[in-house]
Structure 1
Amino acid sequence: MRGFPVIVAASLLLAGCGKPAELAARDAWARLPAVQGRPGAAYFTIQGGATADTLLAVATPAALRAEVHETVTTQGVMAMRPVDTVTVPAGQSVAFAPGGRHVMLFDLGPNVKPGTRIPLALAFASGKRVEVQAQVVAAGDPAPR
């Protein structure tokens, strides 16, 4: 039985030898607007790195302008408002999802169609830049899996 504590201790030591957490984005997708000429929206999850960081902006060549927004409820009325920054705590994830934080995509290009992918470039206060490909879906379609 003396070997068991040694095995547990060795396992814990090896677990700590992994790569440090890296700032990343995953599960990106974009929904086209129901009415042409209106903005679309992009969603993703940011995984925080070893230290906290702050998302400053999101850009894509697929749209003339991209703005980070959040959905808020005031006196029972839902509305969207622009957000200047989003804090990403170390080692934690921050979701951008329908009904919450999202990126508004204004003036989407004509080649942005369901089934295509668009690049999203996320800029952080640390100077890091993370790029992710977003799967495009039509207005009424569910999020891709």
Structure 2
Amino acid sequence: MNFARFAGLALLAAALPLAGCTGGNAPSETSADKSETGLEVTDARLVLPAVSGNPGAVYFNVENKGDRNVAIRSASVKGASSAMMHEMAEWDGEMVMGEMGPPMLQPGDKVSFEPGGKHVMAFDLDSSLVAGGKTELTLTIAGGKSVTAEADIKGPGDER
């Protein structure tokens, strides 16, 4: 019985220094750390649907200005219940839209999310999103860091 107590105490004593490595004086991750993705998002805009209740479309340009590969895992839009990255592709002689996998950007790569190509569908838009206003587009990369950009809100007939 004494050996069992000794072994338990020895394990506890060995774990204490390790526990100190995970917290204590180590700097904590802040919201500023989460925006260090290497990505720069420009020309972001949400185009409202012509028919209320339909999803809107978000277009933007993104460039990897960092020094390592980045995969965009997901997108979200403030004021939308959900968002999904889509792209247009030819299937059996017809253009179809479908969910796209995470785009990988090498250092220096630029990708355009534009009408007729890659875009973000924004679903169940809040009534507070009106043409002439602004919202936020957040891109989350593999690993969990994210970058947020301001997006102009455009009406259905506005230039995209």
In the superposition, the TM-score normalised over structure 1's length comes to: 0.80
1:93-104 correspondence runs (5 A): 93-104=110-121
- 1:107 Cα deviation after fit: 0.5
| Structure 2 residue matching 1:70: 3-state secondary structure | strand
Q: What is the rounded CA distance, in whole Å, between the counterparts of 1:116 and 1:128 in structure 2?
A: 27
Aligned to 1:65: 82
Amino acid at match of 1:28: A
Gaps of 5+ in 1: 1-20
Contact 1:73 1:79 in 2 (8 A): yes
Matched, 1:77 2:94: yes
The question of whether the paired residues in 2 share the 8 Å contact of 1:47 and 1:94 is answered with yes
Separation in structure 1 between the aligned mates of residue 95 and residue 78 of structure 2, nearest angstrom: 29
Q: What are the ranges of 5 or more consecutive residues in structure 2 without an aligned counterpart?
A: 1-36
Give the TM-score normalised by the residue count of structure 2: 0.73
Q: How is 1:102-121 mapped onto 2 (pairs within 5 angstroms)?
A: 102-121=119-138
Other structure's SS at 1:139 match: coil
Partner of 1:45: 61
**Distance (Å, rounded) in 2 between the aligned partners of 1:127 and 1:102:** 21
User: How much is the aligned-residue C-alpha RMSD, in angstroms?
Assistant: 1.4
Percent identity for Structure 1 against Structure 2: 35
The structure with the largest helix share of the pair is: 2
Q: Does 1:87 align with 2:104?
A: yes
Question: Deviating runs (4+, > 4 A) in structure 1?
Answer: none
In structure 2, C-alpha distance between the alignment counterparts of 1:127 and 1:36, rounded to whole Å: 33
CA distance in 1 between counterparts of 2:146 and 2:88 reads 25
CA distance in 2 between counterparts of 1:128 and 1:88 reads: 15
In the alignment of these two chains, the number of paired residues is 123
Q: Identify the range of structure 1 (25-34 vs 72-81) with the bigger mean alpha-carbon deviation.
A: 72-81
The answer to whether 1:140 aligns with 2:157 is yes
Matches of 2:156 and 2:74, distance apart in 1: 24
Instruction: Classify the secondary structure of the residue corresponding to 1:42.
Output: strand
Within the candidate set 26, 32, 47, 1:31 is matched to 47
Q: CA–CA distance in 2 between the matches of 1:45 and 1:23?
A: 10
